Structure 1
Amino acid sequence: MADGKKTDDYELRDKGSKGYEPPMSTPRPAGSAPIIAATNSPVFPVLSYCGSSILMTVTNKYVLSGFGFNLNFFLLAVQSIVCVVAIQMCKSSGIITYRDFNVDEARKWFPVSLLLIGTIYTSTKALQFLSIPVYTIFKNLTIILIAYGEVLWFGGSVSGMALFSFGLMVLSSVIAAWADIQHALQNYGHSETEASAKVSTLNAGYMWMMFNCICSAAYVLGMRKRIKLTNFKDFDTMFYNNVLSIPILLVSSLLLENWSSANLDINFPPLQKNRIILAMIFSGLSSVFISYTSAWCVRVTSSTTYSMVGALNKLPIALSGLIFFDAPITVPSVSAIGVGFVSGIVYTLAKVKQSSGPKAGILPTTSVPMSASSQSARDSFKS
């Protein structure tokens, strides 16, 4: 969301129309004051945003790596369908509002949706092969690609403080990769075949992570270009991204993925079938939660606070991998998490310093409005 704009998701009905008269005030029900105070308190939206980010990451990791799951396109299609159904129900109930589907706007936005499909697909593949802490640390590299992409395509420059944070991001990624490989060799060193297979799995994860960083940066930069043509708000972006993604994901799943009964039994074992299906549905709802809580967080606090929360949120997301999954807990792995956490804070402080300084010679981040849902997606790429 652009700085200073905190009401993109909240329709101010008729207040700007000619002859508008405020409605007569009605007494609030007893006990409503504490609820309103809690809603406007920054603590609840910040905790809700952090919780929804962690839940979605953990849920995706559970589905993708718990039972040999390989229907990634189908998982993403289910998530998009659940998201569209959820926001359509909210729109019908008058909770949110977004524009109706328009063919011309869909044509303009379609390239962005393709980039998003590439981003989320490579994200699921990387998360399938890598632990959550390593995945979170490597996501920081996307920031470097976005920053220099903005320099090349939108003008501007990178400050010394931001450059220092980039160095920390690269360092944390190198430490994380080294820690992962060392752990694999130490635990499977007694068997050269097992060690080689484990290292090959990690290398596949790093490859998918590289593709994900490239796709993520291209998505954010492409969205900055296209949003000028459509002037989408928060839920407009979410609606079009998911509606345009559904047919592509379903066709890709039918053509590229194995739908044999034997493979379905692998993906949905009888004893875990219901839990996997519920996790897939819940991961789709999580995307709605993230967009809503991110908009809530920016509205109640500020864009600066929201950015800082995104940086601080890297630590609990990485720790969730250590708590809920068998991610190795070693001195190098913990050090990599710490360096990655510090790099995110340093980068956020660099952006805050740039935004408070003179406008000349800084990365352009205010020329195009950024919706809260787009910002949440951008932060999830950084996580």
Structure 2
Amino acid sequence: MNVARGILVLIFCTLFIASYFTNKYVLSILKFTFPTIFQGWQTSTGALLLLVTWKLGLVEINGFSRSAAFSQLPGSFLFIGNIYAGSKALSLLPIPFFFVLQNVSEVFAFLMVAVTHREKSSWMKLLSVCMLLGSAASLILYNPRFGPSGYTWASVHLFCVGAYKVFQKNTKTSHLSDLEEQFMNYVISALLLVSLAYSTGDLTGALDFPLLTSYRFHTGCLGSAILSFCLMLATVKLKNSLPQELCGVWCFLAKVLASGLSLYTFNTVLSPVTLCCVILNYTGEALFVYSDRFR
């Protein structure tokens, strides 16, 4: 790996950890439990920043037809489900548990693609799928104190993440680039989430939030929006610079680093059983990534 790619990987991992930690801080430590407001703020900021960077010539977004935009609508709705349920789950679950359940989205996407494309799988892939499913099920069974709400929202999150991966794989014939897809996701999400904030009463609740005037709250929300946008750009750059299998390797390592550091940052205590579930899950993900790279 050359120096430029090494720097890109380092930036990606740093942004990945910082983004999840900032979101966790706002959602769990500050207890800002209004996902329509929080994600509406993040997506509207992301759309604005993407528009500004495009006008400045820092990123490339071409014009796209109405048919191409319409074809992205199902993906945008899945994106909304992803970020909304992800916020709810992250506010309730420790980061290692969140990633354990999120990793099951790989199983969901794999099974959907295997069924629709009738692809044969290696024994290594099947073993990794069993490890991912078994460890996630064991975590829920032997550590129920974060459920059912936390595990329910995590299940919705992993379903939307997996379905979005399948959607992307089956609709790559469209003429939308990754940034154009993300711009559509940002705009539609911001519009829908802002409207939901009024109808669900989240706006009223957010106005009564005790830390609304706190600099910690303002700094956390501003940092979460900027870091999420920068992580999106770094992820797109990583996907365009490295083979898909290598991208999976670095995403896996970023999750491991984030999980390990979160044990000290958020004072997370793992029992022997839950620690085994986490280790088994990450071993299964490593095997899953390995089988993709060396098939």
Aligned counterpart, 1:307 = 248
Cα drift, residue 236 of structure 1: 0.9
Deviations, residues 153-183 of structure 1 (Å, cap 9, x unaligned)? 23212321011111221233244335634xx
Amino acid at match of 2:108: L
**Amino-acid identity (%):** 19
Cα drift, residue 134 of structure 1: 0.5
Amino acid at match of 1:212: H
Paired positions, count? 294
TM-score norm. by structure 1 comes to 0.71
Structure 1 residues 88 and 258, CA, compared in 2 at 3 Å: closer, same or farther?
closer
Aligned counterpart, 1:45 = 8
Structure 1 residues 266 and 82, CA, compared in 2 at 3 Å: closer, same or farther?
same
Q: Distance in 2 between matches of 1:218 and 1:295?
A: 19
Amino acid at match of 2:152: M
Secondary structure (helix, strand or coil) at the match of 1:70 reads coil
Q: Distance in 1 between matches of 2:202 and 2:232?
A: 32
Cα drift, residue 326 of structure 1: 2.8
Aligned counterpart, 1:365 = none
Aligned counterpart, 1:19 = none
Aligned counterpart, 1:156 = 119
Is structure 2 residue 165 aligned with structure 1 residue 202?
Answer: no
Is structure 2 residue 208 aligned with structure 1 residue 265?
Answer: yes
Deviations, residues 311-336 of structure 1 (Å, cap 9, x unaligned)? 22221121232122132133333333
Aligned counterpart, 2:271 = 330
Q: Hey, which of these two has a bigger chunk of helix by percent? A: 2
Amino acid at match of 2:154: M
Structure 1 residues 109 and 263, CA, compared in 2 at 3 Å: closer, same or farther?
closer
- For the 8 Å contact 1:123–1:208, the answer to whether it is kept is yes
Amino acid at match of 1:213: L
1:129-278 to structure 2, matched below 5 A, reads: 129-177=92-140, 180-181=143-144, 199=145, 201-228=146-173, 230-260=174-204, 264-266=207-209, 268-270=211-213, 272=214, 274-278=215-219
Q: Distance in 1 between matches of 2:164 and 2:210?
A: 30
Q: Distance in 1 between matches of 2:77 and 2:110?
A: 21
Cα drift, residue 263 of structure 1: 5.1
Q: Which runs of 5 or more residues in structure 1 are unaligned?
A: 1-36, 182-198, 355-383
Amino acid at match of 1:136: F
- For the 8 Å contact 1:312–1:344, the answer to whether it is kept is no
- For the 8 Å contact 1:132–1:320, the answer to whether it is kept is no
TM-score norm. by structure 2 comes to 0.91
Q: Distance in 2 between matches of 1:285 and 1:117?
A: 18
- For the 8 Å contact 1:112–1:226, the answer to whether it is kept is no
Q: Distance in 2 between matches of 1:175 and 1:318?
A: 18
Amino acid at match of 1:277: H
Q: Distance in 2 between matches of 1:175 and 1:309?
A: 26
- For the 8 Å contact 2:124–2:287, the answer to whether it is kept is yes
- For the 8 Å contact 1:143–1:217, the answer to whether it is kept is yes
Cα drift, residue 267 of structure 1: 5.7
Is structure 2 residue 262 aligned with structure 1 residue 317?
Answer: no
Structure 1 residues 257 and 227, CA, compared in 2 at 3 Å: closer, same or farther?
farther
1:338-353 to structure 2, matched below 5 A, reads: 338-353=279-294
Deviations, residues 2-50 of structure 1 (Å, cap 9, x unaligned)? xxxxxxxxxxxxxxxxxxxxxxxxxxxxxxxxxxx85x2x321111111
- For the 8 Å contact 1:147–1:158, the answer to whether it is kept is no
Deviations, residues 117-147 of structure 1 (Å, cap 9, x unaligned)? 0111111111111111100111111111111
Structure 1 residues 348 and 86, CA, compared in 2 at 3 Å: closer, same or farther?
same
Secondary structure (helix, strand or coil) at the match of 2:139 reads helix
- For the 8 Å contact 2:68–2:176, the answer to whether it is kept is no
Structure number with greater Rg is: 1
Deviations, residues 222-272 of structure 1 (Å, cap 9, x unaligned)? 2333332x2211211111111121111110111113333x653336344x3
- For the 8 Å contact 2:33–2:91, the answer to whether it is kept is no
Aligned counterpart, 2:58 = 95
